[in-house]
Amino acid sequence: MFKLLSKESNIFSIPVYIGFLLLIVIIFNILNFNTYEAIIAGITFLGIALAYFCFHTIALNYQTHLPLFLYTFFIFGLYPGSLDIGIAVALLTNSFILMLLTSTDEDLRKKSYVLVGSIVALNFIFLPTTWPMAVFVIIHVVATSERIGLNLFRFLLGVILIALSYFSIMFFFRFTSWNTDYFPFGKMRFVTDYTSLFPLIPILLMLIYAVYDHFSNYNKKSPVSRYKYTFLLVFSLAQLVTIILYMNKSYQYLLLLAFPASIILSRMLRFLPKYWMQEACLWLIIMSLVTFKAGTYFQLF
């Protein structure tokens, strides 16, 4: 299977994966279908579908099917059937942020910081626990911009525009009291029971090895590959902070790591020295996700 998935992929293969994704979303939502759930399912589908195009934008998949296949299995294994609207919006906004910040057009990246700030602010409105994404964007601006002050101003301008619009709308509808849910720092819910996460231990170990292997061979990588991989790791760290601080037993938060984990693991599999290692690790990832899905769906753990 690894050799099959390592064949060259192109933009026309993406609709096949999107079609399979649509089937997953429909099957898991058909039993509790209503207008609200349909809206959330639509936002979820759009966010995840856009992520398929991000694989080509970030260009770390060597034009193979492997990361697309892994991402599809991550969605299958981690998608609980119905999502909180905040997580659904976060998946959508993350896809937009990735597409904007990883664009090869430098002029587009510079001009997109106002839009990125607006997207981050909108994301915070729907899910305040995603505040680490704002920190990630600020770090990205400081690390990659020549005119740091100007680009930070553009980012903050986007945030302020959405904040003013939101407060204006709320004031118009006479919602004048402050909701304490928008201050997430006092509501941290650390994971206390890891039993349900045991099937994902092999994937965690592979991710740790993949990061170790990358830095062990850091000087052998091209400057572009090093930059994009570092971008991906910092993005993953922002998602990981949210997961550690706020997930508890809301395992749908793990979907925020599906995209970066797919790329990191696909690169690890590609650089393993033996074919049997690549094949064995690929099937181990699949079985881990299927076991986790079965455990959470049927409440086996």
The string of pLDDT tens digits covering residues 11-44 is 557 777 878 787 877 777 665 667 777 888 888 8
Alpha helix ranges (H) inside the chain: 2-5, 14-29, 35-58, 66-78, 85-101, 106-111, 113-126, 132-144, 148-172, 201-216, 223-246, 258-270, 275-297
**What are the CB-based long-range contacts (under 8 Å, 24+) for 61-65?**
61/9, 61/263, 61/266, 62/270, 63/8, 63/9, 63/10, 64/5, 64/6, 64/7, 64/8, 64/9, 64/266, 64/270, 65/4, 65/5, 65/6, 65/7, 65/9, 65/13
Tokens of 30: 């058909």
Report residues of the chain scoring pLDDT below 70.
2-12, 29-33, 61-62, 104, 181, 186-187, 299-301
**Cα(99)–Cα(95) distance, rounded to whole angstroms?**
6
The pLDDT value recorded for residue 35 is 74
Segments forming the whole domain that contains residue 237: 2-297
State pTM to two decimals: 0.89
The pLDDT value recorded for residue 203 is 95
82 in the Ramachandran plot: left (φ > 0), alpha (ψ -120 to 50) or beta?
A: beta
The pLDDT value recorded for residue 283 is 93
The pLDDT value recorded for residue 240 is 93
The pLDDT value recorded for residue 204 is 95
Query: Which residue, 139, 143, 144, is CA-closest to 109?
Result: 144
The pLDDT value recorded for residue 250 is 85
The pLDDT value recorded for residue 159 is 94
Q: Count the domains in the chain.
A: 1
The pLDDT value recorded for residue 58 is 79
The pLDDT value recorded for residue 109 is 74
The string of pLDDT tens digits covering residues 165-190 is 988 988 888 777 777 767 777 667 77
The pLDDT value recorded for residue 187 is 66
**Cα(297)–Cα(81) distance, rounded to whole angstroms?**
9
The pLDDT value recorded for residue 209 is 94
Would you tell me how many other CB atoms lie within 10 Å of the CB of residue 119?
24
